[in-house]
Structure 1
Amino acid sequence: MSVRQAANVLELLEYFSQRRRPATLAEIADDLGWPRSSTFNLIGTIVEKGYLYEPRPRAGYYPTPRWLKLVQTITDAEPLPEAAHRLVVEIAAETGETTAIAALSGVSAMFLDVAESTHSVRYHAQIGDRVPAHASSAGRAILAQLAPEARQALYRKLAFERYSETTPMTVDAIESELRLAEERGYHQSHSEYIPDLAGVSFPLRIGDRRLSVVVAGPVSRCLDRRPRIAQTMRSAITSHEAGLAAGQPVRID
């Protein structure tokens, strides 16, 4: 269930991240399709809290640095090591495909760090995107790290929506994929959630956190390359093990 007021605040932040300049109340309302009255109330509340200001009189509103300080404080409390970001960037450069680190969020895998492919045809992903844990290699690489009873508890929450012909639709099908991945040495996917997308994932442990690192790209370019992609990922993970264990947190500049 989506709470409209909360969604509007996040949509406003995304709006400014794309606009990158001040906006008047009228521009915000028109660009986002919001009623003028509710836009006035929302902006007024955020200004009062110190998160928006007018850089120049009557020239429009813009987010204050308070957002950055708030997010940095939150990030520092549960950081990813800088080595994790370097790992993502390195794998993306060597494979040529979009690479991400994911964590479990409910019944989904959420991306915490992303390095996109430079190909014009690529998997478009960004931090905060979510994919079903059971219908993605990124998710199953995390599920494989859970105790059987923890996995069963998660399975009971699944709706088992069919996204494609390859979506696993039963607990047995998911468990079978986990066993095959253990034998294979890595997790993989083929259009289970997003059509024409192939993925390769490995479990990634940072302290007591159960994460995964995934490479994903078009089936036409990646399906047959999955074993080679897995080899590249395995080598990169091994070379960054020390930094992942003791590295400095990623900071937002």
Structure 2
Amino acid sequence: MARSVKSARRALEVLDLFEKLRRPAAIGEIAAMLGYPQSSTSFLLNDLRRTGYLNYDLETRCFAPTIRVALLGSWIHAGACGRDEISELLTGVRDLARMTTLLATQNGLDLQYVHVIETRQTPKLALRPGTLRPLCRGAGGLALLAERSDADIGRLVRSINADTAGTHEDLRRVLRYVDRTRRDGYAWIVGGVFPNIGSVAVRLPFNDILDKPLGLMVAGPAWRIRTEHRALGTMLRAELARFTGRLAVGTDRPS
């Protein structure tokens, strides 16, 4: 019990440190500033990454909080830093699509759900924030990959195949999906992870603190995605345009 309380306290202290730093930080720096052993700091940070509270940049080897951390307090402070606007966007899309709506980002070599608004319909998908999925097998990942070059995607797929046991991504298949996403302006896929589930996604117009792109997704029964992906893609793009317009109006207001 005492060990669990200590771990919980340290997790909160890590998040509080990021509030003070307001930038990404590496394991060594965090351990030194908080006075923790580096080994236990590494375990704690990676546990927070797996649960969706921190993101990790493979190139800089730095951690930073995800949007999920900001959204935790959105019900307390109205209108702070766009948190309410993001929650309102996801809830509105959920109601229009009648599907589970997700905010997702790349975390390491995976796609991670950082915020989930569950559908009111049945059956429910029971998706949780922090869930990791193969980057190339969901619409959210394809929407994020679409803005990268084919060469970058090739390097990423080779890294996934080398790093993930039992997983093999077909680069030609991935590039076909990415080309379709670039052409249509939205991503869609069915059966990427589960045979009876599909998703549609667009890229949000801003990045997280690690400058990683964010995707807006809806997920539901495969038959609905097959028959309605065009309408869903059009709806997502329209809602995103309205969302961007509201942000621009808010930015232009005098302080």
TM-score with structure 2 length normalisation? 0.63
- Cα deviation, 1:132-174, whole Å, max 9, x if unaligned, reads 11111111111112244432221112238889xxxx9411111
Q: Is the contact between residue 190 and residue 225 of structure 2 (CA under 8 Å) also seen in structure 1?
A: no
CA distance in 2 between counterparts of 1:174 and 1:79 reads 26
Tell me the percent identity. 19
Q: How many residue pairs are counted as aligned between the two chains? A: 188
Other-structure match for 1:14: none
- Mapped contact 2:142–2:181 kept (Cα < 8 A): no
What residue number does 2:242 align with?
Answer: 239
Match of 1:102 in 2: 104
What is the letter of the counterpart of residue 45 of structure 1?
A: R
Q: Please give the alpha-carbon distance, in whole angstroms, between the structure 1 residues aligned to 2:97 and 2:246.
A: 21
| TM-fit CA distance, 1:239 | 0.6
SS of the residue 1:192 aligns to: coil
Query: C-alpha separation between the residues in 2 aligned to 1:112 and 1:150?
Result: 24
Residue of structure 2 in register with 1:85 after alignment? 87
The alignment partner of 1:240 has SS state of helix
- Asked if the contact 2:104–2:216 (Cα under 8 Å) also holds between the matched residues in 1, the reply is yes
TM-aligned CA deviation for residue 222 of structure 1: 3.5
Which residue is 1:178 aligned to? Answer: 178
1:145 corresponds in structure 2 to: 147
Q: Deviations over 1:92-129 (max 9, x none)?
A: 01111001111101221101111110112132212101
Which runs of no fewer than 5 residues in structure 2 stay unpaired?
A: 23-64, 68-81
Partner of 2:225: 222
Instruction: Name which of structure 1's ranges 217-226 and 69-78 shifts more when overlaid on structure 2.
Output: 69-78
The 8 Å contact of residues 123 and 218 in structure 1, kept in 2 or not, is answered as no
Q: Which residue number corresponds to residue 73 of structure 2?
A: none
Higher helix share: 2
| Residues 222-250 of structure 1: CA deviation (Å, up to 9, x unaligned) | 321111111111111001114557989xx
Q: CA RMSD in A?
A: 3.1
Q: Contact 1:98/1:124 (CA < 8 Å) preserved in 2?
A: no
Distance 1:194 1:247, change over 3 A: farther
Distance, in Å, in 1 between the alignment partners of 2:201 and 2:241 is 14
1:246 and 1:45 map into 2 onto residues whose CA distance is 48
Q: Which runs of 5+ in 1 are unaligned?
A: 1-42, 52-63, 249-253
Question: TM-score by structure 1 length?
Answer: 0.64
Q: What aligned pairs does 1:1-253 form with structure 2 within 5 A after superposition?
A: 43-47=1-5, 49=6, 51=8, 71=15, 74=18, 77=22, 78=65, 80=67, 81-82=82-83, 83-159=85-161, 169-207=169-207, 208-242=211-245
Letter matched to residue 194 of structure 2 = I
Most deviating of 66-75 and 235-244: 66-75
| Preserved CA contact (<8 Å) 1:145 1:210 | no
